[in-house]
Chain A
Amino acid sequence: MDYLLHILIIALIYSIFAISLNLELGYTGLYNFGHVAFFGIGAYTSALLSLAGLPVAVSMVCGMAVAGGAGAVLAIPALRLSGDYFGIATLVFAEMARLFFLNERWLTKGPMGLPGIPRPGWIGGGVAALPMFLAFCTLLTIAAFLIIRRLTTAPFGRALKVVREDEYVAQALGKNVLTLKIKAITVGSVLAGLAGGLWAHYITYISPGDFTLTETILVLLCVVLGGRGTNWGPVLGAFVITFFGESVRFLPIPMDFGHFVAPLQGMVYGGVLILIMLKRPEGLLPEYKG
């Protein structure tokens, strides 16, 4: 039972993460392959501040702010690039962030990671607090979902879709393409920072190994599998991927072959990503194009 609660919490955190990437990848058509950087920045900021004694809520808000700020700072130069180049620049940014976490030992303790990150005081620690933490995550996921749905059904969201389909049309309609993209990345990064903060305070231990290309692939898979440019797609994708990932633990795998599980999972994720692109690029829930 506790294990089910744990899976649900992870799925919700990944839902927020995927929702935030979907705003950039699905709605605005920005190939962000370094989204994990903002997840990591949110996690580290929130963890460090709460370890320094700030209340968890305050440090999570700070984490979101720092992630959003980093997103805006990256966006302004990186958005001069188009398509593939933007993808590479963001991928490189994520690797730079990881190297920073790894090497700045005075701040992040490097590869040792940060243990003992506090849970929110009113939730408390340990297994007994899982239902409360689940409720906390559910509330935040619903909030993130509603904010993004509000944004994307508003004229702002329609403008983003025009940018995705054809930038010149958006310009001809008098939209400032650059500002729209910067706003999308900033909002996306803030939400990724929220997901990262939740992750840090839930797991209570983070290290640079938690923020690698693997996490980028996972969240990309959540968005692409669920359906790019839809509101429910990323949530569905996050739940499918999380439950798949955890169900592998129950397979009757002999002890000697235990070390094959993680790479095999990785091969499945990579293979599924290719198959979706080949066979069903719109994902499980196709975007409605009226």
Chain B
Amino acid sequence: MIYYLQLILNGIIAGSIYALFAVGLTMVYGVFRFINFAHGELIAWGAYLALLFTQTLFSLPIYYAVLPALALTIAIGLAQERYVYRPLRHGNRISLLIASIGLSYLLRNAIRIIWGSDLMTYGLKPTRGFAFAGLSITGTQISMMAAAVLFLGGLYFLFTRTMLGKSLRAVADNMELAVIMGINMKRVSLTVWSLASVFAGVGGILLALDTNLEPLMGLTNMIKAFAAMLLGGAGNVWGALLGGLFIGIAENVGVAFVSPGYKDFISFVIIIVVLLFRPKGLFGILGGVR
């Protein structure tokens, strides 16, 4: 029994990070109506940039390294939009998709050039976990959940209490109408890409703290974020949050029943099943803030 509870707890921890990824992906989809295949690379670049700032040249402690790493991740996100997606926005949809696949491949291979293809870590000393009622959790994992709560709470505040958040929702609802009503599209686009990059970067760093860094981490997590986004209904931010938690729990509990080699298979199956039977998402019925 405790074994399954532990699996569920691990699932919630992983799921809170997937939720961060999925929220960014779904926000971009909600506003620009396309799936950014390069979203995963923001995750990986966030994690690797934090590594860069902890290493020889800067040798900052990890909690200070996070800030410049996130700033650069935002710069990558904004550059994606400015130099690739904006020029293509009014063209053929397939051009956007192919360009985003090309972009993700470019960024992934850039990581391999700079940092190599081997597994890496931040080189922190392992800390003793806390145990209560037979369940164990490490400090990193607590900060993963705390970060998810903090960032998603901040997002909730932004969406419901600020004019900027309202204009974001308006643009997601109907871009043309929003522009006609005088909403500044540049500001909205800047906000969406910055938020998506920050969420991806923070999630990537936390995930790398808990596990390790590898060039393919972007692709793997992009697929999971995509599964979470679909579960929640594309463009639905709170759906993506629930979807992320669901994927995390399903994956970790699933390991009790299938071989660990098939762990990633679970999110693939979820993607296929949701696409086929509930294309509007499992939680689409809840409505939620778009």
CA distance A217 to B35 in the complex (A): 17
Chain B interface residue count, CB cutoff 8 Å, equals 42
A267 and B113 form a contact (CB under 8 A): yes
**Contact residues on A (Cβ < 8 Å of other chain), bracket:** 35 or more
Query: What are the residues of chain A within 8 A of B35 when measuring CB–CB?
Result: 84, 87-88
Chain B proximity of A149: nearest CB distance (Å): 23
CA distance A29 to B117 in the complex (A): 35
B102 and A273 form a contact (CB under 8 A): yes
Kindly report which residue of chain A lies nearest to residue B92, judged by CB atoms: A281
B223 and A92 form a contact (CB under 8 A): yes
Q: Which of B34, B109, B226, B275 contacts A263 (CB 8 A)?
A: B109
Q: Which of A234-278 contact B (CB under 8 A)?
A: 259-260, 262-267, 269-274, 277-278
B105 and A270 form a contact (CB under 8 A): yes
Chain B proximity of A237: nearest CB distance (Å): 13
Kindly report which residue of chain B lies nearest to residue A274, judged by CB atoms: B102
B98 and A220 form a contact (CB under 8 A): yes
Query: What are the residues of chain B within 8 A of A103 when measuring CB–CB?
Result: 259, 261-262
Per DSSP, chain A at the interface is helix
B109 and A278 form a contact (CB under 8 A): no
B105 and A96 form a contact (CB under 8 A): no
Which of A95, A214, A269, A270 has the most B CB atoms < 10 Å from its CB? Answer: A270
Please tell me if B94 contacts chain A, counting CB pairs below 8 Å: yes
B110 and A263 form a contact (CB under 8 A): yes
Chain A proximity of B101: nearest CB distance (Å): 7
Chain A proximity of B240: nearest CB distance (Å): 15
Q: List 5 A-B contacts (CB under 8 A).
A: A85-B275, A93-B272, A102-B261, A220-B101, A277-B96
B residues engaging A (CB < 8 A)? Answer: 34-35, 84, 87-88, 91-99, 101-110, 112-113, 116-117, 219, 223, 226, 259, 261-262, 264-265, 268, 271-272, 275-276, 279
